[in-house]
Amino acid sequence: MNVGVNSARLNLRLDGWRSRLLLITLVSCFAGLIGRAAWLQGFHAGFLQQKGEERYSRVIEMPASRGIIRDRNGQPLAISTPSESIWASREDVELSPAQNKALASLLHMDPKELEQRLGSGRGNFVYLKRQVAPEVAQQIMDLKIAGLFQQHGFHRAYPKGEETAHLVGFTDADDHGQEGVELAYQKELGGSAGARRVIKDRAGHIIEDVENIRVPRPGKDIALSVDGRIQHLAYRELRNAVTVNRAKAGAVIILDTQTGEVLALANYPDFDPNNREHLSGAQLRNRAITDTFEPGSTLKPFTIATALEAGKVNPTTVIPTGGGQMTIGPSTIRDTHPFAALTVAQVIQHSSNVGAARIALSLPSETLWNMFTDVGFGQTPKLGFPGEAGGRVRPFRTWKPIEQATMSYGNGISVSLIQLARAYTIFADGGVLLPLSLTRVTAPVSGRRVISAQTAHQVSDMLELVVKPEGTAPAAQVKGYRVAGKTGTAHKVLGGRYANRYVASFVGFAPASAPRVLIAVMIDEPSGSSYYGGLVAAPVFSALMGNVLQMLAVPPDDPNSGAFDPSPIGTGSAEDT
């Protein structure tokens, strides 16, 4: 009996201990839960709210409209139009065979390619097509395909197409500038995107617009210095010249000599910025800005100007030219047209290499180097244009006599067409080197004096002789106007050696009595009946200058002059470099 009583008492004691332990455990758990809840609600409410909102709340980027690029007359060269991007969530896409076929057709894709893009790749997100027309995007969304979405944006359009392609450039699928003015002025044109918070359902549809977080700021419009009408003429004449002369490429630059504004800049081969599916590097190259070449005889006026400034010669000084031949060490310099002697003015008119070399060798090498660098050779033009080339002018301390001689007529030095055009402003603007501008100039322009006004006028008078029947470029004449300019025909350097391929060029300005327009023409590797600058590049200059002067209502300064008749060609229609 005593054993049974003791066992019952023991059992009662054990049951009480268990109940107390259970009670303490439960109270502790509840206390922990209450404490945790208080901690989360008191100190992590924002974090929890954010996680909750992520289930249904989204921040959507609101793209900004890109600024318009216009010409100097307000005509649009690049505009933004609304477009859509179609994207998919790979995990959520459900496509029937009929929907797959219809979607591929609207996207202009092969059905198998569409299946591959939806079935493989990194991540769940995939763009199916960017920059889709709004009406096409609506047709796609009307297919009611699960996991398929659209994103609002803008698409860049270029009304002038190929004519302004290299100048204006283009943007990528994200509307960021990639070439030309689009890249150079990305910061101004791009603006800044906005953002807004919305509530979406499981299907991704917006069911409530909650708030604007950031208002989009449209990009600024850019007014270029280019005149669309002149640009059209430049492109047309350049394309015709490259085609007729079966040339590799060409470039043209037209400047306002009063303001330094670029009125036109054209390149060929071209491309259509509205359709860039099949492009080559040759088409994209802005040769007027990024390519360099040996300028040939177009450099002779700078050699003559240097000698005039130094007091070594005057326009009537007679230079012995040795029957068109001069030997320096093992090398021989030759002229196309042999003369026993020529005045300094005739050295320019007949484009005598021997005469230019003798004048250059009478000067200290540093003096000639200073002239080349003062007009901008060997330095980037600083137009802000992507890919600007600086060219090459070797240090004067390394020049050998033969190198100084050949540099006097443009061999052993490299320049871009924009550099060459700018350098010639010292002859068109009374000795002052003008800063160039791709945007419209409204304030007075202040240039930098390089040579005296007297030297500039003397060289200008010599350049007028070049277009006379006895000069190298009678084909550059313009009816009713006095023209000043210089031809260039230079061998190309390939693999470190001169090859039988040429760059033909002409740089000139008019009216010579009061210059208003300067035009530089470069034709790369003409392979037609001629390759001389006077026969290949000068006619382009003539056609352009006549039209541009009339377009700008510039009065004639030589009403009695007539345009050059190309048949027969003048006796000095060629030059050798």
For residues 298 and 509, what is the distance between their CA atoms, to the nearest angstrom? 13
Rounded Cα–Cα distance for residues 148 and 126 (Å): 10
Identity of residue 576: D
Spatial distance between the Cα atoms of 398 and 414, rounded to a whole number of angstroms: 16
Tell me the two tokens of residue 533. Answer: 């600058």
SS3 6: helix
Report whether 261 contacts 252 (CB < 8 A). Answer: no
What single-letter DSSP state applies at residue 498?
Answer: E
Based on the number of CB atoms within 10 Å of its own CB, is 477 exposed (0-12), middle (13-18) or buried (19 or more)?
buried
Per DSSP, 66 falls in state: P
DSSP state of 219: P
Marked catalytic residue, from 225, 297, 365, 460: 297
Adjacent-strand bridge partners of 128:
none
Residue 210 CB contacts under 8 Å (≥ 6 apart), including other chains: 57, 196, 197, 198, 199
Q: Where are the alpha helices (DSSP H) in 60-128?
A: 97-107, 111-119
| Cα 436 from Cα 98, distance rounded (Å) | 59
- Separation CA 169–CA 164 (nearest Å): 8
| Chain length of the chain | 577
**Rounded Cα gap, residues 473 and 491, in angstroms:** 19
CA distance linking residue 478 with residue 545, whole number of Å:
7
Q: In degrees, to the nearest 5, what angle opens at C-alpha 340 toward C-alphas 337 and 341? A: 100
Tokens matching residue 200: 């979406």
Tokens 């989204």 identify what position?
Answer: 58
User: CA gyration radius for the chain?
Assistant: 37
Residue 120 annotated to the active site: no
| d(C-alpha 178, C-alpha 176), whole Å | 6
Q: Is 506 helix (H, G, I), strand (E, B) or coil?
A: strand
CA 576, CA 234: separation in Å to the nearest integer? Answer: 27
| Of the candidates 342, 493, 520, 466, the residue with the CA atom closest to the CA atom of residue 406 | 493
Residue 344 structure tokens:
């300094």
Q: Name the DSSP letter for residue 505.
A: E
Q: Is the peptide bond before 269 cis (omega within 30 degrees of 0)?
A: yes
Question: How far apart are alpha carbons 154 and 159 in whole angstroms?
Answer: 16
Which residue type, as a one-letter code, is found at position 404?
Answer: Q
Q: 210: burial class by Cβ within 10 Å (0-12, 13-18, 19+)?
A: middle
Torsions phi, psi of 48, nearest 5? -65, -40
Dihedral pair phi/psi, residue 128, rounded to 5°: -90, -40
Q: Which residues are catalytic?
A: 297
